[in-house]
Structure 1
Amino acid sequence: YQYNFWDKEMRPHRQSLIAVLFVPLFLTTLLMWVCLSIYWGSLVPSSSSKPLTVTVTNLDVGGEFGAGVIAAIQIANQAKGNTIKWLFDSNIESVNDSRGLIVEEKTWGAVLITPNATAELENALRLGTNNYNAQNSILFLYASARNQITVNSHIVPPVLAVINPIIGQLAIQHTETFLQSIVNNTEALQTALKCPQCLASPFGMTSLDIVPFDVPEATGSTMVGLIFLLTFTFSIFQILRVTGLTIGGHLRLTSALIFRTISSLSAYLIMGLSYTLVNLAFGVPMSRCFGHGGFVIYWLLNTCTMGAVGLPMESLFTIIGLKWAGYFLSFWIIVNVSGAFSSFEIMPSFYQYGYAFPFYHSIQGARTIIFGTKNHLGTNFGVLITWTVVGLLGVYGGT
């Protein structure tokens, strides 16, 4: 404690800062640019993004309203820069058919012009029916549980932005035409006035979320919670590494590998159970789709997720050591998050790598268990187990 920083005796120590301070800062800055560029890039609209599909069906056969809506949507479909691709499906015969398309993830939404929409309005005007419900003219179906961010940002607003003006314009035209047709018929006008909504708002739309993202707590299960799960997995590796160094030095290679395999998988099984119980404690439902078995399935999904993200880290650190652990952990989190939190249709095609990464399949599996979305659990478990096996092989090879 006898020198100032710029004393000549401190020169060797100042030079050592290049290796111990400036080089790590440079690498950290470089990693920041790489990782944040990957994540922010997943949020930027791209020319390679695909429009999201919404199915339109006219069940108002022969009605002016149905024909008018279809004609207006066809015009809107030709506009450049649409984020929605309207598909006209004449094979749909009922609401259940449209529900099936959405649940099976063949379309993001469905707009149905209900049967006899025009005829029901005209009958209400002719008979003076005051219980006419204009909101039954069009039914808009979607499933926010498939991906609440995509649906609430890229499906519902664009669909409403197209359909609502069409409804408003057709309503004005219909009321104007009707009033002109009875201008000299006082009795018909008095009868029509018994149904004021038939003149003021003759058409409307009802929106129905058929598979709603109705559990706010599940945001953790299907998004941010997985980041925590990965960091906990990293902590487990550090604990197991200490025990491995303590015991492994006294074991033969075969026994050491068996010990590492059993200890890692057992730790993931226990921590996976703990993570599942935390979700259950905060009200995340697990019995909607598979009954009481949903808890066990979700537990196994979380266990496989920890194996899929943990064992590849363990294998890499076995080879390169813990010096670079912090850098790889940041990169591993970012590449998993960027390819999983949003929908591939609205991201640049580069991010389709997410189909092969653990987070995407963990999130998709969790949505199936919690909300009852389309079942991809076979594929989800298959990919997660593959990553686990690859990680184990890496551990064996590195050891």
Structure 2
Amino acid sequence: MTLPLRLSYAVVEDPSSYLTPIVEPVHLWNSSNKDIVTLRKSFFKQWFFASIELWLLIFLIVTIYLGSGQNPSRYTGNLDVTIVNYDGDIAGNYFLNAFRQSAPGNQTLNWHYKDSSDYNNNVDETKYDVEHGKSWAVVVLRQNTTRLINETVFTLINTSRTLTSPFTIVSPIVVFYADGRNSFTVNNYVLPPIRSAIAIASAQYGQMLRSTLLQNLSSSSDSSSNRSVQLLNTFQIGSLLVDPLSAQYQNLHPNAPFVGQLATTLGYIYIYLISAMVVGGAIKFLSQYVPKVHWIDVIVFRVFNGFFQAFIISLIYSLIVLWLFGIHSGSLFMRYWMFNWLSSMVFGIIIVLFTTNLGPFGNSILTIFIMLMLAGSTLQLALELSHPFYRYGYGLPLYHIINGGRHLLFNSYSNFGLNVGVLLAYFFSMWLIASVTSVFWIKRQQKKAAQQVQQAKTEKKEQKITTVVRR
């Protein structure tokens, strides 16, 4: 008699409920265990290549950044300065010759000699070149300088009376400049050669005047009393004879107060660092929600968070700068705030683009890119004083951020429309690329997370599955 087959079930105990044996950590350095030897090789290999990457990164950073300031005196010939001679006489000849014969090196700039007719014979119109960035400075010798000085000298020679007051005259030379454009460059590389050339011209012209005066005094003094009067009068106009071509310096757009210098240099570096913190915090915060939330929601939040955080950061920064700067203009505040908002968003989108697309190497490449921007940003030196390689700075966003900020605070020259246009172009192009690539990486991350969840479920199900035993 054959019995029918019956199926019965035996519940197998879950292996995960077993106690895991405690494994004592072993030393990495002297263990002969095969697994530890493999781990040791992997450890040293990763450490070595990471160190090489770090050393190369430091080498590039130091070379790029410090190279921008190597021997700027060698490139002073790139700084444009306009020379205008309104006098057209003896003083004008000494004036022009001093600039034409200026010592080579950092005592010679790119002198542009222009005629007074180019400015309708109006000294004030020469400011145009400084105001519109055509020249770093304009040096003007006023009209009738030779005639006025000669009249004074001849009055001294021909008079038989003691002059009752010292000789006074408007400074024959006027220098227009604006150190708000770049204070370090103007005060260290533009004005010193100008002062040197003016001092040489004044010394040579003064020597000629003194020689002429002595000759005329000797021939015109017919008595001891007349000679005494002439000597006394000579002391009265002593400043004219020593420094006949004195200069008046007019700073059209001063780089003051000092808080403005900080705001347009280190201030924007701080905004970049804060933007990096915001981006890093947002990515870390969203990472826990990416597997659970639709990718559209993630992108929308990233965009909203970027705009909103940049909006608040730029508001706080602009309020503090203008408060310390002492500016109470509502229109200027709005322009400065909106410009800083745009600058902050550009920094943020640059960080997002590098960190989300380039993986482990993203931070290294981003650091190199930031160093390239700093080296070509005119934080201190104008790009004309750097090697021609650094002219790339004209096309990078930090150059336009710093010079646009200086324009707003100091009203110094900057093609502000171009500054804003370049920043907008950077923002929208990078935002478009970052949006498309972010969708790709988020979907990929979500797909990977889904696979991991499914694999975990499968493993769990396999551990709890019952075994069918045929009895």
TM-score when normalising by structure 2: 0.76
Aligned partner of 1:315 in structure 2 is 353
CA distance in 2, matches of 1:18, 1:286: 58
Aligned partner of 1:388 in structure 2 is 427
CA drift at 1:16: 3.0
- For residue 322 of structure 2, what is the amino acid of its counterpart? L
Asked if 1 retains the 8 angstrom alpha-carbon contact of 2:198 and 2:245, the reply is: no
Alignment of 1:226-245 (within 5 A): 226-245=268-287
Aligned partner of 1:88 in structure 2 is 113
CA drift at 1:219: 2.2
Q: Among 117, 126, 137, which residue is 1:98 paired with?
A: 126
Aligned partner of 2:418 in structure 1 is 379
> What secondary structure sits across from 1:57 in the alignment?
strand
> What secondary structure sits across from 2:325 in the alignment?
coil
Give deviations 1:123-144, integer Å, cap 9, x for gaps: 3331547443467021122111
Matched, 1:44 2:79: no
> What secondary structure sits across from 2:258 in the alignment?
coil
Q: Among 298, 303, 318, which residue is 2:341 paired with?
A: 303
> What secondary structure sits across from 1:36 in the alignment?
helix
Change (3 A) 1:7 1:220: same
- For residue 121 of structure 1, what is the amino acid of its counterpart? I
Change (3 A) 1:12 1:394: same
- For residue 371 of structure 2, what is the amino acid of its counterpart? I
Alignment of 1:1-399 (within 5 A): 3=27, 5-9=29-33, 11-45=37-71, 51-61=78-88, 63-76=89-102, 83-90=108-115, 91-92=118-119, 93-125=121-153, 126=155, 128=163, 130-133=165-168, 136-186=171-221, 187=226, 189-190=230-231, 191-281=233-323, 283-286=324-327, 291-321=329-359, 323-341=360-378, 342-398=381-437, 399=439
CA distance in 2, matches of 1:6, 1:280: 63
Change (3 A) 1:154 1:209: same
- For residue 238 of structure 1, what is the amino acid of its counterpart? G
- For residue 276 of structure 1, what is the amino acid of its counterpart? S
CA distance in 1, matches of 2:365, 2:267: 19
> What secondary structure sits across from 2:265 in the alignment?
helix
Identical amino acids, percent of aligned pairs: 21
Once the two structures are overlaid, the 10-residue window that deviates more, 249-258 or 97-106, is 249-258
> What secondary structure sits across from 1:56 in the alignment?
strand
- For residue 167 of structure 1, what is the amino acid of its counterpart? S
- For residue 81 of structure 2, what is the amino acid of its counterpart? V
Asked if 1 retains the 8 angstrom alpha-carbon contact of 2:127 and 2:176, the reply is: yes
> What secondary structure sits across from 1:43 in the alignment?
coil
CA drift at 1:193: 4.0
CA distance in 1, matches of 2:31, 2:167: 91
CA drift at 1:286: 4.7
- For residue 187 of structure 2, what is the amino acid of its counterpart? N
> What secondary structure sits across from 1:179 in the alignment?
helix
CA drift at 1:67: 2.0
CA drift at 1:299: 1.4
Change (3 A) 1:211 1:48: closer
- For residue 139 of structure 1, what is the amino acid of its counterpart? V
Give deviations 1:232-285, integer Å, cap 9, x for gaps: 11110011113333444444333332222111111111111122233234x135
CA drift at 1:328: 3.2
Give deviations 1:137-196, integer Å, cap 9, x for gaps: 211221111111211121011222222122112111111112212212234725444323
Once the two structures are overlaid, the 10-residue window that deviates more, 328-337 or 13-22, is 13-22
Task: Give the length in aligned residue pairs.
Answer: 392
Give deviations 1:14-53, integer Å, cap 9, x for gaps: 3233344222221111011112211122112487885211
CA distance in 2, matches of 1:234, 1:76: 48
CA drift at 1:13: 4.2
Asked if 2 retains the 8 angstrom alpha-carbon contact of 1:134 and 1:197, the reply is: no
CA drift at 1:349: 2.0
Change (3 A) 1:240 1:129: farther
CA drift at 1:392: 1.5
Aligned partner of 2:453 in structure 1 is none
Change (3 A) 1:221 1:370: same
> What secondary structure sits across from 1:76 in the alignment?
coil
Asked if 1 retains the 8 angstrom alpha-carbon contact of 2:202 and 2:246, the reply is: yes
TM-score when normalising by structure 1: 0.89
CA distance in 2, matches of 1:164, 1:134: 18
Give deviations 1:188-247, integer Å, cap 9, x for gaps: 725444323233333322222221112211222211222221111111001111333344
The higher radius of gyration belongs to 2
> Unaligned regions of 5+ residues in structure 2, if any?
1-24, 157-162, 440-471
- For residue 84 of structure 1, what is the amino acid of its counterpart? L
- For residue 388 of structure 2, what is the amino acid of its counterpart? S
